[in-house]
Chain A
Amino acid sequence: MVKPKIICVTGGKGGTGKTVVAVNLATMFKNKGFKVLLIDGDVENPNTYLLLNGKLKNKTEVLYFLPKILEDKCNKCGLCAENCATHALLHIKDSIPIPISTVCSGCKLCYKICPTNAIEADLKVIGWIYTSSAFNIDLFLGELKPSEARSAVIVKTLMKKLEEVIKIDQNKYDVVILDTAPGAHCDVEELISQADLIIPVTEPTRFGKLDLLRIIELINLLKREYKVIVNRSSLLGYKDKFLLELEEKGIEILGDIPLDEDIVSSYCQGIPLMEISRNSDKNGAGYKSFNEIFENLLKWGEFLK
Chain B
Amino acid sequence: MIKIAIPTYGNGGLNEVINRRFGRCDTFTFVTIENNQISEVKSIENHARGESGGVGIQATQIVGNNSANEVIVDFLGPNAANSLQALNIKIYHAPIGELTVKELIDLRLNEKLQLMTSANVGAHQGMGQGMGRGRGRGLRR
Place the interface of chain B in its size category: 10 to 19
Q: Which of B48, B53, B86 contacts A98 (CB under 8 A)?
A: B86
User: Is residue B95 within 8 Å, beta carbon to beta carbon, of the partner chain?
Assistant: no
A88 partner residues in chain B, CB cutoff 8 A = 54, 57
Residue-by-residue, is A69-95 near B (CB-CB < 8 Å gives 1, otherwise 0)? 000000000000100001110111100
Count: A-B pairs, CB below 8 Å: 40
A90 touches B87 (CB 8 A): yes
A93 partner residues in chain B, CB cutoff 8 A = 65
B110 to chain A, nearest CB (A): 30
A92 touches B54 (CB 8 A): no
B64 touches A92 (CB 8 A): yes
The complex places the Cα of A92 from the Cα of B51 at a distance, in Å, of 19
B53 touches A87 (CB 8 A): yes
B65 touches A100 (CB 8 A): no
Q: Which of A81, A91, A92, A100 contacts B79 (CB under 8 A)?
A: A100
A100 touches B57 (CB 8 A): yes
A102 to chain B, nearest CB (A): 7
B54 partner residues in chain A, CB cutoff 8 A = 86-88, 103
A100 touches B87 (CB 8 A): no
The complex places the Cα of A122 from the Cα of B51 at a distance, in Å, of 28
Q: Which of A90, A102, A103 contacts B61 (CB under 8 A)?
A: A90
The complex places the Cα of A86 from the Cα of B83 at a distance, in Å, of 14
User: Is residue B60 within 8 Å, beta carbon to beta carbon, of the partner chain?
Assistant: yes
B57 partner residues in chain A, CB cutoff 8 A = 87-88, 90, 100, 103
B48 partner residues in chain A, CB cutoff 8 A = 87
Q: Which of A81, A91, A100 contacts B82 (CB under 8 A)?
A: A100
User: Is residue B58 within 8 Å, beta carbon to beta carbon, of the partner chain?
Assistant: yes
Name which residue of chain A comes closest to B53, CB basis: A86
Name which residue of chain A comes closest to B123, CB basis: A102
A100 touches B83 (CB 8 A): yes
A91 touches B86 (CB 8 A): no
User: Is residue B78 within 8 Å, beta carbon to beta carbon, of the partner chain?
Assistant: yes
| Residue in B61, B78, B82, B87 with the greatest tally of chain A CB atoms within 10 Å | B61
B83 partner residues in chain A, CB cutoff 8 A = 90, 98, 100
Q: A92-B87, A98-B83, A103-B54 known; 4 other A-B pairs, CB under 8 Å?
A: A87-B53, A87-B54, A100-B82, A102-B78
**Interface, chain B (partner A; CB < 8 A):** 48, 51, 53-55, 57-58, 60-61, 64-65, 78-79, 82-83, 86-87
Between A and B, 24 residue pairs with Cβ closer than 8 Å are A86-B53, A86-B54, A87-B48, A87-B51, A87-B54, A88-B54, A88-B57, A90-B57, A90-B60, A90-B61, A90-B64, A90-B83, A90-B87, A91-B61, A92-B61, A92-B64, A93-B65, A98-B86, A98-B87, A100-B57, A100-B79, A100-B82, A102-B79, A103-B54
